[in-house]
Amino acid sequence: MSFTGKYELQSQENFEPFMKVLGLPEDQIQKGKDLKSISEIVQDGKKFKVTVTTGTKVLKNEFTIGEETEMELLNGEKVKTVVQMEGNNKLVTQVKGMKSVTELNGDTITHTMTLGDLTFKRVSKRI
């Protein structure tokens, strides 16, 4: 199953409390909560390029399944991590105590980030 495509954010849960835990300033949280987000994924075998555009902010990350890479988090912090593939439709990584799971089902991508007992969920549809 290929992740390649453009996806538009349809819904999100727990955006504000999750961003507060990540340390984003309140004004950025308020600006960001209602912005539409477009994710573009290019998959070439085990190599991925992911570009997320939210308003004027563009977050770009590239990684290869199973290899250590540096990724930029939502708060701008850069961290080293390894992304693993589970099955043929799930990308999983652990960053600073946070578990990130991106799952593709048909034309829907569900991205879930869990930190302690707080879960932030985003659902995007292919456009």
pLDDT surpassing 90 at residue 101: yes
Q: Are 117 and 99 in contact (CB under 8 A)?
A: no
What are 63-78's pLDDT values in tens digits? 999 999 999 887 788 9
pLDDT at residue number 42: 97
Domain architecture of the chain: domains with CATH: 5-126 (2.40.128.20)
Q: 28 forms bridges with which residues in the sheet?
A: none
Look up tokens 């080293």; give the residue: 80
What does the pLDDT average to over 22-29?
86
Interior/surface letters 59-73, b for 16+ CB within 10 angstroms, e for the rest: bebebeeeeebebeb
The pLDDT assigned to 118 comes to 95
Write out 29-71 in H/E/C secondary structure.
HHHHCCCCEEEEEEEECCEEEEEEEECCEEEEEEEECCCEEEE
